Every structure is written in structure tokens, then in C-alpha cells.
Amino acid sequence: MEWFREETRRHYAFNLIVRKHSPQLYSLVRRMVLDADDTNDILQNVFIKAWQALPKFREDASLGTWLYRIATNESISFLNRKRKFLFIPLKSEQAYLSEKLQTGAFTDFEAGEKLFQEALLQLPQKQRLVFNMRFYDELSYEKIAEITGTSVGALKASYHHAVKKLEDFLNKQF
């Protein structure tokens, strides 16, 4: 962050930030929106917002946590805009994302992984987000709470409900 505050090193410092955080943010966004092109667009918006806001960044949270929060908000906003633009009812968001799963770059998944991804799409947006952060990114509940602005207790409940719904869905498949 010190380099970013120096005018002569600002671009270089931001390039380092992008290189360091892009892989994790890409994974987070991709698991939410499923489409690679949409993911790249959202990630570009995340870094544009970060670039604009970095001079005012107070470092109350870590830079990674702050970027995760921006990426999370951008992903949710994107899905909400997509739903409104396509006039997709809330329940049909699953069908829209399921179609992305079937036709997108996820077509090379093994049957088991595809079934698990289909199960994840059955979860409400918030539960899917919490599950992805906890399961795939292995973030602590405290870190997820910082990112989402949700209490640790509520996150534990969301994760527990998500796991239960996933188990129920997968048990019905076998």
C-alpha cells in the first residue's frame, strides 16, 4: 500500500495488486456467475472500482478482504441486473445459471462435479456465496463476516443450511 500512495509507483503497485488477487477473485466470481465472459467483465469492474477507491482506502480491513467484498457485491449486483434485464423471476435464476453450467466451460466437468455444481445452484444466492467462500476458499467465518457484513452466527447458520440442502439434493439423486 505504501507504493500505491507514491504517485510515481502507483501504476506499478496496482499491477502487483491485480496480479496477486486476480486468481482468487476470479474463482469467487466464476463460481457465482458461471460464465467466463461475465466473470471477466465483473472482475474488470472490481479492479476499476478498486483503482478509484484505493486512495481513500483506510486499511480497516486487509486489502484482500476489501477486494473480496467488492467482488462479492459486484457479483450479486450483476446477477440482480441480469434477472431484471431478462425478466427472470427469482426461482428461475437457478434455471438460467443451470443453463450456463450445461453450455459453458463447465461442460468438461466429470459427472460428479457437474452434479455437485447443479446442487449448489439450488441454494439461495447468500447461502451459495457463504458455502463457496467457506468450502472452496477455506475462509474463516470471521473473514467471511468482514466481507459480507454479516454476523458470524448468521454465517454459521447459512453454511449449515447450505450443507443440509446439498446433502438432501444429492441424496435424492442416488
Cell of 9: 509507483
Contact (CB, 8 A) for 104 and 40:
no
Query: Which band of pLDDT confidence, cut at 50, 70 and 90, is reported for residue 89?
Result: low
| C-beta neighbour count of 59 within 10 angstroms | 8
For the chain, the structural domain boundaries read: 1-87, 109-174
SS3 category, 89 = coil
Q: Span 109-174: which CATH code?
A: 1.10.10.10
CA dihedral of residues 123, 128, 52, 59 (deg, nearest 10): 140
State whether the Cα torsion 39-44-47-52 is positive or negative. Answer: negative
State which amino acid sits at residue 154: A
What's residue 155's pLDDT? 96
What's residue 143's pLDDT? 94
Question: Model confidence over 122-154: pLDDT tens digits?
Answer: 899 899 999 999 999 999 999 999 999 999 999
How far apart CA 143 and CA 99 sit, in angstroms, is 32
What's residue 1's pLDDT? 53
What's residue 40's pLDDT? 96
Q: Is the pLDDT of residue 36 over 70?
A: yes
Question: Model confidence over 91-130: pLDDT tens digits?
Answer: 566 666 666 666 665 555 566 777 888 889 889 989 999 9
Contact (CB, 8 A) for 42 and 75:
yes
Question: Model confidence over 48-74: pLDDT tens digits?
Answer: 999 898 878 877 778 889 999 999 999
What's residue 20's pLDDT? 94
Query: Which band of pLDDT confidence, cut at 50, 70 and 90, is reported for residue 173?
Result: confident
Query: Which band of pLDDT confidence, cut at 50, 70 and 90, is reported for residue 13?
Result: confident
Q: Is the pLDDT of residue 2 over 70?
A: no
Question: Which residues 6+ apart lie within 8 Å of 30 measured at CB?
Answer: 36, 39
Q: Please identify which residue in the block is written with the cell numbers 483506510.
A: 58
Specify the CATH number for 1-87; select among 1.10.8.60, 3.10.20.30, 1.10.10.10, 1.10.1740.10: 1.10.1740.10
